[in-house]
Amino acid sequence: MRDVLLIALYAACGAAVAGLLGAAALRLVRHRSVAVSLTVVAATAVTAMLAGTLAVAWAMFLSPHDLTVVTLVIVMAAVVSFATALLLGRWVVARSRELARAARSFGEGGSFAAPGPAATAELDALSRELAATSAKLAASRERERALESSRRELVAWISHDLRTPLAGLRAMAEALEDGMAAEPERYFQQIRTEVERLNGMVGDLFELSRIHAGALRLTRTRMSLYDLVGDALAGADPLAREHGVRLVGDRVDEVPVEVDGKEMTRVLANLLVNAIRRTPADGTVAVAAERAEDGAVVLSVTDGCGGIPEEDLPRVFDTGWRGTAARTPPAGAGLGLAIVRGIVEAHRGSADVHNVQGGCCFQVRLPVATAGAVPG
């Protein structure tokens, strides 16, 4: 038993010395290629085995012939191990360089394509992560392009819509200044109308800027959706009468919600004004509110606009979108529906639109008020 312990001790001491030397060498080459690190690891393992075996062989006082045979066997194993480590290292390095070249392509605005064939499990996992990152970057670039296009359209439309009332105000002001206005009172009324319109456009821009900047602060209170819809219908009734449109709000449940009353009133007002202006005379705008099967509250406004082209449906809530038939006043700057979506999403809800027979239906989904919830 004592001999076995001595053999184990000699082997452990020899292997430990080789392992320490290998660890020091690995630290020195830590910034070098993977092939060098693999070679050092293989050399450390073989050297540790060689040192342990030789220590035991010398301790056992083997004959010179036997010691030579053992040493030769270990040296040949070391040579094969070194060669295998070098080949494996070169293979891993080659795959790493291919992966780096592929990653450089999507970093310059392209898309990532994983090089083949599949490398090690770690490099394969890295390839999948890079592919996922490339997809996210592509989606981000697409959103950025769409947003930039929307901004350019908004600036163009705002410039156009501002130019018309400003030109009218200037002409009326010059007529009043020169004493050429036959009916000054009518000019004053028209100036007031144009100023109110400009004020509304500026208010929409300010509201949208607050939404995009994340500066929209909500003051939530618990209220009945029935009362909220009733107030909105009462506010939109004069405009509906002016356009000869019927407002219908029969299917409205008394569902409690926790919302900012002022902001949600603006949401309903924007939806109703948009629906009334797009519905022909003698048409109907219907408002409904009910609890969905998943527990959410669904508020819908259905108009008689004749429907929206399918290719335009995804853009309806984009900033500046007004559709092909809404390029001129009084359509506005195309901010109303963008404001609707921003306010609804701030309430952790969603806004959607789909075509129905004879028109389209705008839907707003809001979370229902929980029992005992604290307003605020």
Interval 161-192: pLDDT, tens: 777 778 888 888 888 888 777 778 888 888 88
Residue 196: is it exposed, middle or buried by C-beta count within 10 angstroms (0-12/13-18/19+)? exposed
Q: Is 51 helix (H, G, I), strand (E, B) or coil?
A: helix
Q: How confident is the model at residue 28 (pLDDT cuts 50, 70, 90)?
A: confident
Q: How confident is the model at residue 65 (pLDDT cuts 50, 70, 90)?
A: confident
Which residue matches tokens 């022909």?
280
Q: What is the DSSP string of 179-208?
A: T--S-HHHHHHHHHHHHHHHHHHHHHHHHH
Q: How many angstroms separate the CA atoms of 358 and 305, rounded?
A: 7
pLDDT at 374 over 70: no
Q: How confident is the model at residue 2 (pLDDT cuts 50, 70, 90)?
A: low
Tokens of residue 306, six digits: 């004749």
Q: How many angstroms separate the CA atoms of 172 and 186, rounded?
A: 10
Angle between the N-to-C axes of helices 121-178 and 64-107, in degrees from 0 to 180, rounded to the nearest 10: 20
Residue 297: is it exposed, middle or buried by C-beta count within 10 angstroms (0-12/13-18/19+)? buried
Element (H, E) at 283: none
Q: What is the pLDDT of residue 244?
A: 92
Q: What is the pLDDT of residue 327?
A: 36
Is the Cβ–Cβ distance between 263 and 218 less than 8 Å? yes
Q: How many angstroms separate the CA atoms of 337 and 273, rounded?
A: 11
Q: What is the pLDDT of residue 285?
A: 93
Interval 101-145: pLDDT, tens: 777 766 555 666 666 665 567 667 777 777 787 778 778 888 788
Average pLDDT over all residues of the chain = 77
Q: How many angstroms separate the CA atoms of 93 and 87, rounded?
A: 10
Q: What is the pLDDT of residue 312?
A: 84
Q: How many angstroms separate the CA atoms of 299 and 274, rounded?
A: 15
Residue 46: is it exposed, middle or buried by C-beta count within 10 angstroms (0-12/13-18/19+)? buried
Of the CA atoms within 13 Å of residue 252, those in its CB half-sphere come to: 20
Q: How many angstroms separate the CA atoms of 191 and 183, rounded?
A: 13
Among 231, 323, 227, smallest CA distance to 272 is for: 231
Q: Which of 81-90, 209-218, 290-299 has the highest mean pLDDT?
A: 290-299
Among 136, 93, 105, smallest CA distance to 114 is for: 105
Q: Which amino acid is at 217?
A: R
- Which pTM does this prediction carry? 0.57
